[in-house]
Structure 1
Amino acid sequence: MKHLHYKTILLSFTLLHLLCTQVYSQQRNVHSFGSPTLNEFSLETYDKEPEAAAVVLYERGKNFFEMVDYRLTLIKEVHRKIKVLNAQKFEGATVEIPWYTNKSSKERVRKLQAMTHNGDLQRFVSEDKIYESDLNEYWNVTKFTFPDVKDGSILEYSYRIESPYFWGFEGWDFQEELPKIYSEFESSIPGNLVYKRSLYGSQKLDVNDVKVKNNCLDFRGTEQAAACEVSVYVMKDIPSLKEEAYMLSPDNYRSRIEYELQQITDFYGDTSYYTKTWDDVDNEFKTEKDMGRQLRYENYFQQALPQHLLGISDALERAKAVYYYIQDHFTWNNKYRIYSDIRVKEAYGEQKGNNSEINLALINALNAAQLDAKIFLSATRNTKVPNPLYPVLTDFNYVMAYVKIDNEEYILDATYKDLKFGMVPFKALNDKGRVMDFKTGSFWKSIDPEPKNLLYIKAQILVSAENDVVASVTETHSGYSEIFEKQKLNETSHALYVTGKESRLGGVEIRNLSVANENDPTKELTLDYDAVYEPEVVGDQVFIDPFFLQSEFKENPFLAEDRSFPIDFGYPRSIHYTLAITIDKSFEIERLPENKSVQLPENLGNGTMLFSQNDNTLYLRFTFALNHQSFVTEAYPTLKEFFGDVVNLQTNSFIVLRKR
C-alpha cells in the first residue's frame, strides 16, 4: 500500500537544468503595447476556470544586458495584459513593482506605462498617480492603481528595471494566483556571465528554445561584440495557483524558472565565482558582523547571567534554566532580522530585541553555561522550504538556537513567552533548517513538531426537570493547543475571551471562568467554568447535543472534489472529551446515539464515540487522534472521507429525552 504520510516534505515539482540543445517548439506570440485584439475584447468567461475573477491574456518578460551610462547593466522588461471578468471579486487593480536598493546604488524603474481599456475608451495611469514607498531597508516598491476597472476591462502595463546587480536576474513566475493564457520569458546573457537555471513546478514548457546569438552586445573599449545565449521559455493555458487548506507555502509548488549567478569573467580574463558551497557560507558566517560576530559574547553572558544558573549540575536542567531566563528577560519587538541590524549586547541591556537578537543572546547564554549551542537557520511556513541542493541564503528568514545534550537534539526559540523548552513555534514548522556548526561544518536537521498536543474536556452535566442543561467544565490544553489558546487569552480581556468562546460554541453561555497557568510555559493551561446550554424541545421530547462544549468538528475542512498539493497540518493532535450527564428522574432516555469508530489506514488517525448508561446517568467518551502531521496528495480522498465521518459523527448524534 502506498504510504499516506511523509516524513520529509515531498514537494510537487520537477527540477530541470535547462540545456542549450533543447528545442521543443517555436510557437511564440509577440504583442505590441496598447492594441488588444478583438478576441481579447470579446472574451467574457474563461472556460478552463469559470470562477476566475480575471485571466492573464498575455505576459512577456525579458532579461538582458545593455550598456547604460558606460556601465554594463541588467535590464528587466515586463509587458502584461489582464482581462477582468468579475470586477467585484477582482483584487489586482493595484500593481506593485519591487526594486532593490542599498547605500551605494539602486535599481531604477523606467518607461512605466499603464492603461485601462474599456472598448474604444482608453484611460492611462498618469505620472502623478504612480507612487514609491519603502518596504524595508533594502526594498522599495513602485505602485499604481488602474482607473475605471469594470467587468470586461483589459488592464495593460509595461515597465523596465535597470539594475546594477547581476545576481538579481531572478527569473520568472509562470504560475500565479490568476490563470494565464500565455506566459513567455526570454533571457539574453553574454558569454562572460554564467547562470545556473532551474525549472520548478508541475506545468510543462510549450516552448524551450535556447541558442547562441553572435554580436549581440557591444562593450565599450572592446574590438569585438560579445556573443549571447538567448533563451525563450513559454507556457500556455496555465492554471491558477490556488491555496488549499492545510498546505505549506504555495511558493513550494509554483511553476517558475530561477536563475542563479555562478561566475563572471571580466575584460582581463579574471573570473569571480558566485556559487557557494556550505563550507564557503560557514567561513563567511564566522566573521559576518551581523550574525557570526554576535556569537562572541560568551564572557559577557558569564558575567550577566544570574550565577546560580551556571552552577546547576545537570546539563539539561541548566539548559532549561538558561532558556526560561532569556525568554523572561526579553520582550520581542515584533521585528525579524537575519543578516542586518543585530546587536546582542545592546538588546540584552534594553531587555527587548528582534527575533535574531533574542535567540543569538540565548546561544551566547547557553555557551556561557558550558553548553555547545549553535545558530539554526530556517524559514517560516509562509515561505518556501530552503533549497537542499545548494546554499541560497535568501531562502532563510528565521533564526533559532540548536543545542545537543546527552545525544538529544533540541531546537529552541526564546522569542515567544508561551513556548516551553524544545518547542518550535507553529510558524517555523517548515520541514528542515541548517545548523551552522563552524567547527565541523554545517548540516541539515529536520524540524519536528511537539508530539503531544492535547485538548482535554471533562464535564459534569445536570439536566433539570425544567430542561435546563448546566455543565461544570474543566478544559486542559497542552502543546500547540495550549499555545493557541494562550494567544486568544493574551490578545484580549477574559470577558472578551468568554464572548469569543461563546460565539464559537454557539448557543452556550459561559460563567465563572477561572484560568490557571496562563503565564507559565512549564505547566499546562487549565480553564474551569460553568456552561449553560438550551436544548431543543419538540413537544414532550428534548434533544441534547452531547458535543455542545466542543467546536472542533462543525464542518469538514476538505470539501473540494480533488486536491493538487500535499496536506500539512503542522503537528499531530488529539482530543479527549468525557461527559457525565445526570438526568432528572422526570425524564426517560428514549434514544442514545450509536457507538461508532472511524479509522485512517496505517494507524494514522482515529475517532471513537462510546456511550454507556448507569440508571439516569449517561457517560460519553469521545477520542480523536491525528497521529501524523503531513500526508501526500494521493491521501486526500481518504482524509476527506475520514474528516467527513468525524463531522457526521458529532453533528448527527443527539440524546433524546422524553417526559415521563
Structure 2
Amino acid sequence: MTKYLLLPFLFISLSLFSQEQLFNLKDLTVNKAELEATGYSKDATANAFYIYENGYSRFQQGGDYHLLSDYKAKIKILNKEGFKHASIQIRLRKNGSNREKIHDLEAATHFLENGIIQVRRVKPEMIFTEENPEYDVVKFTFPSVQPGAVITYSFQKESPFYFNFESWWFQEDIPKMYSRYLADIPGNYRYNIRKVGTQALDVENNDVKKRCFHIRGIPEPADCMSSEYVMKDIPAFKEEKYLTSRYNFLSRIEYELQEIFIPDGRTKKFTKTWDDVDRELRRDNDLGKQLRKTKWVEGVLPAAISSKSNSLEKAQEIFDFVKNNYRWNGDYKIFQDVSIKELLEEKTGNVSAINILLHNIYVEEGFEVLPLLSSTRENGIPTQLYPVLSEFNYLMVHLTLDEKEYLLDATEKNTNFGITPFRTLNKYGRLLDFENGSSWYQIEPEGISTIILHDSIKLHPDGTATGKSLHSFSGYHALSVKNILEDLKSEEIFEELSNPNPHTMSLAVAQAQSSNKVDLSFDLQNSSQKINDLYYVNPFSFKFFRENPFKLKERTYPIDFGYKDAYTYNISIEIPETHEFVELPENRVIALPEKGGSLHFLTQKIDNQNLMVHCRVYFPLAVYGAGYYPYLQKFFTEMLNIQEQSIIVVREKA
C-alpha cells in the first residue's frame, strides 16, 4: 500500500524536475517550454522570476581604462501582478563631466500566439532618460506584456567610476533560477571584496588569467584575477516587520578599491585606515571645522543654566535647551552644509548642525563629550572591516558623566535625555576621538520599554459591561505614542493607539504626559455573548498586537525590535451578586528557547463576585536571530489566541 501511495508524489516530483530541465539557463534564447510554463515550482507565490541572469565586468583595454559591464537577463512573467517587472530602470551615476553610459541596449518581449512564438522588440523611441542631479535613469517598458510572456534584455554599461567596481545583486524581490557574475581585475588593482547576505554560492572560482590586460606604455600584458560567482534557486527577498534595512541582508558581491600599483613603482592607496580618516575629519572644512568652533557658542546658553556646577541636572537642562530652541529641518548631510553659525541665526538646521551645537556647548561648559558617527536603521549597518564614510549618515553626542555614559540626540522635541530616536537604534557607531583615536561603540538602549494596561470592568445583569481602562507607556513606547498623538484628533486616539477587540467601545478618552511616560484613559462599554442562560465574556478589551506580524514560511534575516520591551495587562472583573462564575480560562505559561521571552496568563477568583486576570509578555532581547523565527511566529499566534479566545462563563444563580 505504501508503494502505491508514493507513486503520485514521485510523479509530481519528476514533473517539476522535468519542467525545470526545459528552462534554458545558458543564454537569452527563449524556447516554447519557457513560454508555456504557468508557475515556478520553488515559489508558488511568485508573480515573476528570473530564468537566467549573467554579468561580466572588466576594464577597458587602452583608452580611458573605463569599467565595462555587460548585463543580460531573461524574466518570466506569470500573471498581471508581475507586469511591474516589465518596466526597467537603469541608474547611471554622474559627477561633473564624468558620467556612466549605456551601449548596445536590446530588449524584447516573447509570447505565444496560436502556438507560435512571437517577438516584439523595444524600439529606440520607447527608451527615455530621466535626469537627476547625481544620476540619470534610463527607463523603458516592454511592449505586448501578458501572462506567460518572457522578456529579455541586455546592455553594456561604461563607467569612469571604478572605485566600487560593479556590485552584483544576486537577490531581489522576485526569485531567480540562475545568476552568474564574472569579473576580470588587473593584477595591479587591489579591491576589498565582500559577500553580503546568507545565500550560499553554488560556484566560486578565482583564478589568474594570464596576459589579459594591456597597459599603455607597457609592452607585456598584465595578468588578471578572474572570478566567477554563481547562485542557483535564489529565493525572493520578502520584507517583513522588524527589519532594519533590506540592504543589510540582500545577497550580493561588493567591491571597494583598496590600492593601485602604478607601473613606475608607486602605490596609490584608496581605502584608508581609521587613523587616516581621523586626521582627515579633524581637518575637514565642514564636520571637523564645526567641531573645533566651540567659541561660537559662548553666551548661547542662558546664565541660569551656565552658572550651575556641572551635574546630571545641568547636563539635562543643556540638552532640553538645545532640543526646545533649535529645530531639525529633516536633512542629514552630516559631511556637508554644516554651519553652527547659520543654525544659531535661523534656529533650524540638519542633524550635524544641531548635535554639533549640543556637543560644543557641552565642551564649552567643561563636560566630557565626543561626537558619534552612525547610520540610521533605514540606511543600513556600516561595515567594520575598513572605513567607508559613505555608509554613515548620522551624528550624535556621547557624554560621560560620573562614570556613566549617555547617548544624546537633540533633533526631536519628544526625546528625553539618554533616549535617542528609534531611527538611530542600529547596532553601533564610531566614536570620534581626535586625541586618542576613534573606536566602535555599541548602540544599546538601556532599560525596558513597557506598555501596562489596567482595566476595571463591571458586568451588568443584561450582559453588558462598563468600566475604565488606563494605558501607561514608557521608554520607546512612550516616545512613539507622543509622536503619533501630535497628528491625531481626540476621537481617533482610541482606534489608533489602543488595539481594541471587536466587543469594546470607548465612551470617553483622556491623556496625560510626563517627560518619560504617557497615560491614556478610556471609559469602556463592552458586550458579551449570551447563549441560553450563559454569558460568555472575553476579559480582554484590548490586544497587545493587532495581528501576528510574522507570516513568512521562512525568514533568513534577524528580527530587530530595536529595544527590549514588556507588556502587562491587569483586569479586575466584578459580576452582579445575582450571578456566578461557571468556567474560567486555563492558566498558561509559554517560554521562548534560551530565555528569549515569556508569556504568563493567570486568572484568580478573589471572591464569588470578583475575578483578577493577569497577562504579561516579556521580550528581554532587542534583536533575535533568524533561528528564533519559527518560535516567535508560534509565540505570537498563541498570544493572540489567548487574548481573543480566553472566555469567562457566567450565569445567573438558580
TM-score under structure 2 length normalisation? 0.89
2:591 matches 1:594? no
Partner amino acid for 1:51?
A: T
Aligned to 2:543: 551
The alignment's C-alpha RMSD in Å is 2.6
Kept in 2, the 8 Å contact 1:450–1:480? The answer is no
Counterparts of 2:25 and 2:559 in 1: how far apart (Å)? 37
Distance 1:585 1:439 in 2: 75
Q: Quick check: 2:571–2:614 contact (8 Å CA) kept in 1? A: yes
1:450 and 1:479 in contact (8 A); partners too: no
In structure 1, the partner of 2:56 is 62
Partner amino acid, structure 2, of 1:145: T
CA distance, structure 1, for counterparts of residue 102 and residue 426 of structure 2: 34
Residues 1:327 and 2:323 are matched in the alignment:
yes
Partner of 1:46: 40
- 2:295 matched to 1:303? no
Q: 1:224 to 1:305 in 2, by over 3 A?
A: same
Instruction: Answer yes or no: is the 8 Å Cα contact 1:456–1:576 preserved in 2.
Output: yes
Tell me the CA shift for residue 223 of structure 1: 4.2
Q: Which residue of 2 aligns with 1:123?
A: 120
Cα pair distance change 1:604/1:212, threshold 3 Å = closer
Q: Is the 8 A contact 1:169 1:260 kept in 2?
A: yes
Q: CA deviation at 1:283?
A: 0.9
Q: Deviations over 1:560-596 (max 9, x none)?
A: 5544333322211112222222223343222222333
Contact 1:176 1:254 in 2 (8 A): yes
**Contact persistence 1:170–1:260 (CA under 8 A):** no
Task: Report the Cα distance in structure 2 between the residues aligned to 1:375 and 1:400, rounded to whole angstroms.
Answer: 6
**Structure 1 pair 421/88, CA: closer, same or farther in 2 (3 Å)?**
same
Q: Which moved more, 1:449-458 or 1:94-103?
A: 94-103
> Structure 1 residue 537: deviation in Å?
2.5
Work out whether 1:360 is the aligned partner of 2:353: no
Cross-structure match for 1:634: 627
CA distance in 2, matches of 1:371, 1:545: 55
Deviation sequence 1:445-497 (CA, Å, 0-9, x none)? 11102422111112222222333211222211101111222222122322233
2:119 counterpart SS class? strand
Amino acid at match of 1:599: A
Compared CA separation, residues 499 and 639, structure 1 to 2 (3 A): closer
- Say whether the 8 Å CA contact 2:128–2:139 is kept in structure 1: yes
Note if 1:565 corresponds to 2:521: no
Once the two structures are TM-superposed, the CA of residue 218 in structure 1 deviates from its matched residue by: 4.0
Shift in CA distance, 154/525, structure 1 to aligned 2, threshold 3 Å: same
3-state SS in 1 of match to 2:602: strand
Deviation at 1:306, TM superposition (A): 1.8
Q: Closer, same or farther in 2 for the Cα pair 1:324/1:122, shift >3 Å?
A: farther
Q: Secondary structure at the match of 1:455?
A: strand
1:96 to 61, 83, 89: 89
Q: Report the CA distance shift for 1:114/1:397 in structure 2 as closer, same or farther (over 3 A).
A: farther
Amino acid at match of 1:181: M
C-alpha displacement at 1:602, in angstroms?
Answer: 4.5
Please say which of residues 559-568 and 167-176 is displaced more in the overlay. 559-568
Distance in 1, Cα, partners of 2:368 & 2:83: 53
Provide the C-alpha distance between the structure 1 equivalents of 2:307 and 2:462, rounded to a whole number of angstroms.
64
Give the distance between the partners of 1:175 and 1:569, measured in 2 at CA: 24
Counterpart check, 1:620 vs 2:617? no
2:156 matches 1:164: no
* CA distance in 2: counterparts of 1:656 and 1:179, whole angstroms: 50
SS at match of 1:284: helix
How far residue 279 of structure 1 moved from its aligned partner, in angstroms, is 0.5
Structure 1 stretch displaced more, 394-403 or 201-210 = 201-210
1:578 paired with 2:570, answer: yes
Q: CA deviation at 1:559?
A: 4.7
- Percentage of identical aligned residues: 34
- C-alpha displacement at 1:38, in angstroms? 3.4
Q: CA deviation at 1:444?
A: 0.7
Letter in 2 for 1:498: F
Give, in angstroms, the shift of residue 317 of structure 1.
2.0
Q: 1:393 to 1:321 in 2, by over 3 A?
A: same
Partner of 2:596: 604
Higher deviation after alignment, 210-219 or 535-544 = 210-219
Amino acid paired to 1:534 = S
**Separation in 2, partners of 1:326, 1:251:** 34
**1:651 & 1:498 partners in 2: Cα distance?**
18
Q: 2:570 is paired with a residue of what secondary structure? A: strand
Asked if 1 retains the 8 angstrom alpha-carbon contact of 2:178 and 2:234, the reply is yes
Q: CA deviation at 1:504?
A: 4.9
Matches of 2:636 and 2:337, distance apart in 1 = 46
Q: Equivalents in 1 of 2:631, 2:578: separation in Å?
A: 45
Structure 1 residues 598, 202: closer, same or farther in 2, change over 3 A?
Answer: closer
Task: Return closer, same or farther for 1:108/1:507 CA change in 2, 3 Å cut-off.
Answer: farther
Contact 1:459–1:578 (Cα < 8 Å) also in 2: yes
Aligned equivalent of 1:7: none
Match of 1:428 among 424, 427, 443: 424
Q: Please, which of 210, 225, 249 is the counterpart of residue 245 of structure 2?
A: 249
Per-residue deviation at 1:639? 3.2
Contact 1:553 1:650 in 2 (8 A): no
Deviation at 1:554, TM superposition (A): 5.2
Contact kept in structure 1, 2:57 and 2:166, CA below 8 Å: no
Indicate the residue corresponding to 1:145 in structure 2.
141
| SS of aligned partner of 2:511 | strand
Q: Is the 8 A contact 1:381 1:427 kept in 2?
A: yes
Spell out the pairing of 1:242-391 with structure 2 (5 A cutoff).
Answer: 242-266=238-262, 268-391=264-387
Distance (whole Å) between structure 2 residues aligned to residue 133 and residue 312 of structure 1: 57
1:84 aligned to 2:71? no
Q: With CA pairs under 8 Å and 6+ residues apart, which has the higher RCO, 1 or 2?
A: 1
Shift of the alpha carbon at 1:438?
1.0
3-state SS in 1 of match to 2:183: strand
Q: How many Å separate the matches in 2 of 1:292 and 1:131?
A: 42
Distance 1:134 1:301 in 2: 41
**Secondary structure of 2:98 counterpart:** coil
CA 1:436–1:594 in 2, change beyond 3 Å: closer, same or farther?
same
Question: What does 1:459-608 correspond to in 2, within 5 Å?
Answer: 459-501=455-497, 504-517=500-513, 522-548=515-541, 550-553=542-545, 555-608=547-600
For 2:17, the equivalent position in structure 1 comes to none
**SS of alignment partner, residue 95 of structure 2:** coil
Residue identity matched to 1:489 = L
Q: How does 1:98-113 map to 2 (within 5 A)?
A: 98-113=91-106
- Matching residue's letter, 1:40: E
Aligned partners of 1:502 and 1:509 also within 8 Å: no
Q: Matches of 1:355 and 1:139 in 2, distance apart?
A: 24
SS of equivalent to 1:418: coil
Alignment of 1:212-227 (within 5 A): 212-227=208-223
Match for residue 409 of structure 2 among 408, 413, 419? 413
Distance change (3 Å), C-alpha of 1:465 and 1:642: same
Return the alpha-carbon distance in structure 2 between the equivalents of residues 253 and 615 of structure 1.
56
* Larger deviation, residues 458-467 vs 635-644: 635-644
Alignment CA distance shift 1:322-1:55 (3 Å):
same
Q: Given the superposition, is the C-alpha separation of residues 194 and 292 from structure 1 closer, same or farther in structure 2, using an over 3 Å criterion?
A: same
**SS of the residue aligned with 2:65?**
strand
Partner of 2:12: none
Cα distance change, pair 592–117 in 1 and its aligned pair in 2 (3 A):
same
